[in-house]
């Protein structure tokens, strides 16, 4: 028997490696089927947005979306900040994004009710809050004591 041509001697191992590579990549990229009776939902879908003021105040709410409907504006400490809630025990500090989508068309006023959409964030140190949002020392200290605030990207009027 004669010797095989050089191209054939190199092509056979290369073809074998290519087939094994294709199979390995196919196995790695194949989706994992959900467990029996379960669904393949992401954590964000399972948790959903926060809808109550008390949920925003929780330590584990940082990083979660919030959609608060018909909340009362209690106070407006500066042009970009608000205190919302029905009582002193149940109030949340709100910071309006510089590019907030304000569907009310008017600046927020104490006593009005609005719907807020945003993200819960950890409260900064007092000096940072005073510098960034032009709030006084008492407001910055109260914010720090609460531990979280709501960074609002959209504000809508609430229906009566």
Q: pLDDT digit of tens for each residue in the chain (160 aa)?
A: 567 677 777 888 899 999 999 888 877 765 666 665 555 555 545 678 888 888 888 878 888 999 999 999 999 998 889 999 887 778 899 999 988 888 767 778 898 889 899 999 999 999 999 999 999 999 999 999 988 999 999 988 876 5
Q: From CA 141, how far away is CA 93, in angstroms rounded?
A: 11
Q: Per-residue DSSP letters for 56-78?
A: HHSGGGTT-EEEEEEEEEEEEEE
- Record the tokens describing residue 50, joined without a space: 């926060």
Structure pTM?
Answer: 0.68
Q: Which pLDDT score, from 0 to 100, does residue 133 have?
A: 92
Note whether 93 and 121 are within 8 A (CB): no
Q: Indicate the CATH number of 44-157 among 2.40.50.140, 2.40.30.170, 3.30.460.10, 1.10.3470.10.
A: 2.40.50.140
């Amino acid at each position: 028997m004669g010797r095989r041509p050089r191209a054939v001697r190199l092509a056979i191992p290369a073809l074998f490696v290519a087939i094994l590579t294709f199979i390995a990549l196919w196995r790695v990229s194949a989706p994992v089927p959900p467990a029996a009776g379960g669904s393949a939902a992401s954590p964000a879908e399972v948790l959903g947005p926060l809808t109550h003021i008390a949920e925003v105040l929780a330590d584990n709410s940082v990083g979660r979306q919030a959609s608060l409907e018909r909340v009362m504006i209690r106070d407006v400490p500066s042009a970009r900040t608000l205190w919302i809630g029905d009582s002193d025990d149940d109030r949340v500090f709100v910071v309006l994004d510089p590019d907030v989508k304000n569907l009310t068309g008017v600046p927020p006023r104490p006593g009005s009710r609005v719907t807020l959409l945003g993200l819960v964030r950890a409260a900064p140190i007092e000096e940072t809050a005073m510098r960034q949002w032009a709030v006084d020392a008492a407001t910055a200290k109260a914010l720090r004591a609460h531990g979280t605030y709501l960074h609002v990207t959209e504000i809508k009027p609430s229906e009566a």
